[in-house]
Structure 1
């Protein structure tokens, strides 16, 4: 039972998913910061000189009766920003890779490094020397 769980956890896609969740969480904090520090003040400025910006208080004595259109607009802008980043940074590259695989046009293997080439040359020279010394 523990062996199966270990194999599940050590799969690459589970680790990738964990990294994606962490990065997504951090990115959400950045978007919220931009929204709260830049977008909300701009939206509130369209509401006039009132303290609540684009909000309407239905009952003057009840603070819970505020319809905050600015907060809804900000949430919508946050969603659009995150959706755009996910689409352009994740979905488009994945689609291109999948299309290449379907067409059989996977990118060529990477060129060997200098160290790999030198090691290969050394091994070939050793093989030639041992062949020349054998009777």
Structure 2
């Protein structure tokens, strides 16, 4: 049992998962600050505070029901998703595209004779399998 656990921990998957969790937790603070200290005040300055908690509010007995809180949660989700897309996904996509372009430019072109030999090899392999 301990041997199996040691192998599990030693594999890269567990370590990668742990590192991802720690980075994700640290990144949460960045996204929260971006949304709460930059985007929400910006939106609040333009259209008023993005809080719909009292929208369609009603009471049942002594309890207050606020269906607008769901709208507020959805708006906050969209703001966070937009912030992540704008400040993380778009720059990472641009960086990956630039990296792929550089790798394509660096890749040496295969000469005709090497390409022809590769085709002959593949044909011979296909014939031997049949």
Secondary structure of 1:6 counterpart: helix
Match status 1:8 vs 2:8: yes
- Paired residue total: 95
Gaps of 5+ in 2: 108-130
Give the root-mean-square deviation of aligned CA atoms.
3.6
Question: Which aligned runs of 4 or more in structure 1 are off by greater than 6 angstroms?
Answer: 60-63
Distance 1:81 1:39, change over 3 A: closer
2:81 to 70, 79, 82: 79
Query: 1 CA distance for matches of 2:85 and 2:50?
Result: 26
- Alpha-carbon distance between aligned partners in 1 of 2:67 and 2:89, rounded to the nearest angstrom: 33
Could you tell me the TM-score, scaled by structure 1's length? 0.49
Give the structure 1 partner of residue 56 of structure 2.
58
Cα deviations by residue, 1:16-58 (Å, 9 ceiling, x for unpaired): 221011101111221011101111112223334xxx5452532
Taking structure 2 as the reference length, the TM-score comes to: 0.51
Q: Deviations over 1:99-128 (max 9, x none)?
A: 99xx9xxxxxxxxxxxxxxxxxxxxxxxxx
- Where does structure 1 lack aligned partners over 5 or more consecutive residues? 104-135
**Higher Rg:** 1
Pick closer, same or farther for the CA change 1:29–1:57 going to 2, 3 Å.
same
Structure 2 CA distance for aligned equivalents of residues 83 and 42 of structure 1: 17
Q: What is the CA–CA distance in structure 1 between the aligned matches of 2:43 and 2:65, rounded to whole Å? A: 21
Matched residue, 1:67: 68
Q: 1:33 & 1:64 partners in 2: Cα distance?
A: 29
Instruction: Summarize the Cα distance change of 1:35–1:54 in structure 2 as closer, same or farther, 3 Å threshold.
Output: same
